[in-house]
Amino acid sequence: MTHPDYRVGTWKADPVHSEIAFSVRHLMLSNVRGRFTRYDVTINTGEDMSESSITTTIELASIDTGNQPRDEHLRSADYLDVQHHSVMSYRSTGIRRDGDGWVVDGELTLHGITRSVSLTSQVNGFAADPFGGRRAGFSATAKISRREFGIGAALPLDGGGVAVGDTVAISLEIEAVLQQ
């Protein structure tokens, strides 16, 4: 990485300036969006960006779609089953250049099942903050199949399609702080 403010070290996501969000098709008509409000993201940057690593733990009970009854249903055994599977975790296994961006290959563990998931990523920059610290910005996206993780039934609709789509789009906007 050739950025004047790039630093080797351990970075932690600032939850006030970061977001882990998702969207999924509902009734084959629209996308329902939500986010997780409690998580830990650690990024260890190496001498070269490809030598870096990422670990993430997300508290599934922190799901927030803006609708309390829906959130409670998503926490239930019908979907996330937070009573038995309280966290989702991601661990990178490699980082590689892809054009102007990066691909983070890794393992996502959700609902007791681990699958390979690649994140299409961008490094948004590195900078000093007004308080004497250092910050970095990262964006990433991925799509997963909820059924591959054993989540939720495919409830068919009379006219075709399903009530809740299988593909879940994930987006991460991470502003991380260099740890001292």
Kindly list the structural domains of the chain, giving each domain's residue range(s) and its CATH number in brackets, ordered by start: 9-178 (2.40.128.110)
> Which pair of structure tokens corresponds to residue 119?
């994140």
- pLDDT tens digits for 89-142? 999 999 999 998 999 999 999 999 999 999 999 999 999 888 888 999 999 999
Whole-model pTM: value is 0.89
Separation in Å, CA 81 to CA 30, 133, 166? 24, 39, 17
- pLDDT tens digits for 113-128? 999 999 999 999 999 8
